[in-house]
């Protein structure tokens, strides 16, 4: 298991609740700067202010797109990604259209992912793009083979489209968040991609399980508790 500082560098410190106000976001930004987290992940409305606060710090600004349902028209997703990057976002986490993945429709998923990647990288080719596949929903079936085929299709589409990461969850879907089983499958089928585990990661033990399964990035709102837990403090 990495040291707490190494885990901190893997964390996207997140504030995505609809009722969040600038004071909430500012607190998360301050925590990210203190603990040297990988990024601050916010709804796009906050991207300009967050990017200004983080400028020159090495902590990235991450904005979500098509969040949390992924049911937007593709033109809207692409426009939202473009605006977020122009507002200073250096990373984009977009929600896939879930029916494509549930149906293992590789062609449709790839076309969607390609469009969002192109829109994200047009303004800044160095932007990292992570696709959220709602892995818990994909695996919510009594057929283990079907669950694996869905994860495989999502990862193959992400690779073909030029995504940089596959990400487990929004944290808002009723099926649940990240599991070690899903992360393992994503690491296997997404070879060459980063794997972001997100949704329900609240303690050092949670983080350790995801990293052991193959996660290279962690999305969580409990980043401070996690690194304090690893340093021997309370994880709550």
pTM as predicted? 0.96
- Find where tokens 């992360």 sit: 183
The answer to whether residue 235 is domain-embedded is no
Catalytic center residues:
93, 167, 196
In a domain, 214, yes or no: yes
Average pLDDT over residues 198-209: 97
Say which CATH number the domain at 136 has. Answer: 3.20.20.70
Whether 194 is covered by a domain: the verdict is yes
Q: How confident is the model at residue 149 (pLDDT cuts 50, 70, 90)?
A: very high
* Tally of domains in the chain: 1
DSSP state letters, 77-95:
HHHHHHHHHHTT-SEEEEE
Each residue's pLDDT tens digit, 55-77: 999 999 999 999 999 999 999 99
Q: Which residues contact 233 (CB under 8 A, 6 or more apart)?
A: none
Give residue-wise pLDDT tens across range 25-41.
999 999 999 999 999 99
- DSSP H helices, the chain, are 4-8, 22-35, 47-54, 74-86, 98-102, 106-123, 135-138, 144-161, 180-189, 204-213, 223-230
Residue 236 placed within a domain = no
What are the tokens at 60?
């990235």
Residue 99: which of 156, 153, 148, 145 has the closest Cα?
A: 153
Q: How far apart are CA 120 and CA 216, in angstroms?
A: 21
Q: Which domain holds residue 98?
A: 4-230
- What are the tokens at 125? 């080719």
User: Would you say residue 50 lies in a domain?
Assistant: yes
- CB-based contact 212:2 (threshold 8 Å): no
pLDDT band of residue 233 (cuts 50, 70, 90) is very low
pLDDT at 2 over 90: no
Confidence of residue 177 (pLDDT cuts 50, 70, 90): very high
Average pLDDT over residues 205-228: 97
Contact status, residue 94 vs residue 132, Cβ threshold 8 Å: yes
CB-CB contact of 13 with 54 (8 Å): no
């Amino acid at each position: 298991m990495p040291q707490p500082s190494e885990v901190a560098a893997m964390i996207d410190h997140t504030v995505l609740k609809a009722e969040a106000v600038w004071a909430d976001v500012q607190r998360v930004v301050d925590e990210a700067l203190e603990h040297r987290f990988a990024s601050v992940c916010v709804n796009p409305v906050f991207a300009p202010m967050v990017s200004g606060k983080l400028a020159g710090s090495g902590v990235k600004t991450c904005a979500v797109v098509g969040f949390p349902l992924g049911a937007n028209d593709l033109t809207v997703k692409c426009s939202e990604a473009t605006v977020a990057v122009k507002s200073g976002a250096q990373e984009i986490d977009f929600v896939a259209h879930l029916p494509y993945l549930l149906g293992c429709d590789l062609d449709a998923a790839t076309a969607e992912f390609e469009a969002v990647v192109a829109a994200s990288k047009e303004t800044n080719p160095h932007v990292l793009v992570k696709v959220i596949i709602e892995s818990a929903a994909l695996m919510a079936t009594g057929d283990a083979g079907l669950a694996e085929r869905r994860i495989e299709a999502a990862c193959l589409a992400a690779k073909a489209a030029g995504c940089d990461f596959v990400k487990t969850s929004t944290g808002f879907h009723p099926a649940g968040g990240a599991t070690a089983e899903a992360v393992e499958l994503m690491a296997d089928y997404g070879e060459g991609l980063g794997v972001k585990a997100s949704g329900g990661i609240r303690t050092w033990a949670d983080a350790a399980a995801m990293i052991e399964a193959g996660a290279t990035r962690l999305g969580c709102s409990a980043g401070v508790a996690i690194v304090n837990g690893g340093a021997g403090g309370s994880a709550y």
